[in-house]
Amino acid sequence: MRTFELVIDSKTYQVEIGDTTQRPVEVTVNGKAYVVESINQRSSAPALERPAPAAVATARPEVVPQTPRPAPRDRATAHGGTNITAPMPGKILSIKVKVGDQVEKEDVVCTLEAMKMEMAINATASGTIVQVSVEAGQTVNHGETLCVIG
């Protein structure tokens, strides 16, 4: 699989493209799998590097993101807390804390899978968890608030 980071309408997407010599082509966008039924290939280069207009029209509706959640940063500011944010786009594998838990700086608060690697997300301050903004299995964008320490 080839991996790309694409920006469409100011939104960043992690895109993995399967073997473009086979049909259908398997494509994963922000962790969600899609099958692209028709890709017109005009040269020996993979079609998705030089998409034909039909390929763009066929694939584009598939990469429309889900309805965005309200920005958790506003709630975090109301708590007067410290935001723990996603260092890159990825999928939340597990959450190690819940509201009310006491954490020390550098304690693991959750794990994130990005680019086929697991990453421990650590607390950046000591305190009490006042908000958990994500759940296991959820896809997050770079900078999105994962939890807030008060």
**What is the pLDDT averaged over residues 58-84?**
54
Q: Which two tokens stand for residue 70?
A: 């309200």
Query: Fold for domain 72-149?
Result: OB fold (Dihydrolipoamide Acetyltransferase, E2P) (2.40.50)
Helices (H), the chain: 53-59, 72-79
72: DSSP letter: H
Spell out the domain ranges in the chain.
2-63, 72-149
Flag whether pLDDT at 50 surpasses 90. no
pLDDT at 29: 85
Rounded to the nearest integer, the mean pLDDT of the chain is: 77
Distance CA 137, CA 134 (A): 9
Residue 123's pLDDT band (boundaries 50, 70, 90)? very high
Residue 127's pLDDT band (boundaries 50, 70, 90)? very high
Q: State if pTM tops 0.75.
A: no
